[in-house]
Structure 1
Amino acid sequence: MSRNYKTSKKNRVNYIYYSANGQTVEIKPNGEGITDTIIATLHEMDDLEVDANRRETYHVPIHLDAYHGKDEEDANDYNAYLIDPTPNPMESLIHSIEKAEHEEKLDKLRLSIETLKPQQKELIQKVFYEKRTNVDIAKEEGVTEAAIRNRLKKIYENLRKKI
């Protein structure tokens, strides 16, 4: 049985231990060859267990309540400590299919970008690779931000048709 507190020396009257099979053993100081040293050793072992329980309670970042959400549904989706690290064969298959489809779409996009006019390619380069804002690009080219938005809209429509 674990405790959350330590017993002071003056309250060390006896020790009751419970075995795995349910038997109880009572140890009293100065009785049947039990010395103060044996009692002190037993008490130290108990104190170490109390300290370990306190550390675990303090350091364990999840509690049993974290295993369920507010509506009592399993918390597996949002609790990283409950995630099963073993791969699910069906999920692996779906993931590989999704990855293949994603790669196929990226290849189509790359080919479609190659068909754009040089000015359009340059605008895509500035927006997506250089991470520049429409306002910054408009200022550089001497046009309004709306003009840049309209150019990008036409490019997106063109690419969408080709993909």
Structure 2
Amino acid sequence: MLRNYKTSKKNRTNYIYYSANGEAIKIVPNENGVTDAIIATLHSFDDEEYNGGRREKYHVPVHMDAYCDEKEENSADRNPYLVDNDSNPLESIIQSIEKTEHKEKIDRLRAAIETLKPKQKELIQKVFYEKQTNVSIAAKAGVTEAAIRNRLKKIYDNLRKKI
């Protein structure tokens, strides 16, 4: 049975453990070869078990509430994590179409990017591939952040028309 609270380390003066056959074993620091290292190890085991129990007490009810309704009936119809669409042929077709459409859109985007001017491509490279902020790009280029924002807006509008 798990404890409901942690005992502070300063109040842990001795330990009582029970063997598999129910025999009580009392461990007292600095007696019978019990060192601080052994005590520290016992503390870590106890704390680990206690924290594990706390996680279970919190997570199991919270997640079960998400998976069941107030009548404790399965709520798979409202919880996408419980639905298994792998064997659903309609879902497979939809996913196939989505993948095809996504690939087509990516191909059109790549083609549209190729039509940009070199400086526009460079700006796209900095924003999307190098993950630079508008502010850092503006500082390096010696312009305002608003200027970079306006350039990006023009690029996006241009790409949107071509896609």
Residue in structure 1 matched with residue 150 of structure 2 by the alignment: 150
Residue in structure 1 matched with residue 75 of structure 2 by the alignment: 74
Residue in structure 2 matched with residue 61 of structure 1 by the alignment: 60
Kept in 2: contact 1:112–1:162 (CA 8 A): yes
Kept in 2: contact 1:69–1:75 (CA 8 A): no
Question: 2:75 is aligned with what amino acid?
Answer: D
Residue in structure 2 matched with residue 45 of structure 1 by the alignment: none
Deviations 1:28-47 (A, max 9, x none): xxxxxxxxxxxxxxxxxxxx
Once residues 65 and 138 of structure 2 are traced to their aligned partners in structure 1, the CA distance between those partners, rounded to angstroms, is 54
The two structures have a TM-score, normalised by structure 1, of 0.55
Q: Percent identity between the aligned chains?
A: 65
Once residues 65 and 154 of structure 1 are traced to their aligned partners in structure 2, the CA distance between those partners, rounded to angstroms, is 48
Instruction: In structure 1, list runs of 5 or more residues that go unmatched.
Output: 1-57
Deviations 1:18-37 (A, max 9, x none): xxxxxxxxxxxxxxxxxxxx
Kept in 2: contact 1:67–1:76 (CA 8 A): no
RMSD of aligned C-alpha atoms? 3.1
Residue in structure 2 matched with residue 126 of structure 1 by the alignment: 126
Kept in 2: contact 1:76–1:83 (CA 8 A): yes
Once residues 94 and 147 of structure 1 are traced to their aligned partners in structure 2, the CA distance between those partners, rounded to angstroms, is 42
Once residues 134 and 67 of structure 2 are traced to their aligned partners in structure 1, the CA distance between those partners, rounded to angstroms, is 46
Residue in structure 1 matched with residue 46 of structure 2 by the alignment: none
Residue in structure 1 matched with residue 111 of structure 2 by the alignment: 111
Matches within 5 A, 1:36-55: none
- 2:104 matched to 1:93? no
Kept in 2: contact 1:138–1:144 (CA 8 A): yes
Instruction: In structure 2, list runs of 5 or more residues that go unmatched.
Output: 1-55
Question: 1:136 is aligned with what amino acid?
Answer: S
1:120 and 1:158, CA in 2 relative to 1: closer, same or farther beyond 3 A? same
Question: 1:100 is aligned with what amino acid?
Answer: T
Once residues 124 and 65 of structure 1 are traced to their aligned partners in structure 2, the CA distance between those partners, rounded to angstroms, is 45
Whichever of the two has the greater Rg, that structure is: 1
1:133 Cα deviation after fit: 0.2
1:144 Cα deviation after fit: 0.2
1:74 Cα deviation after fit: 2.0
Number of aligned residue pairs: give it. 106
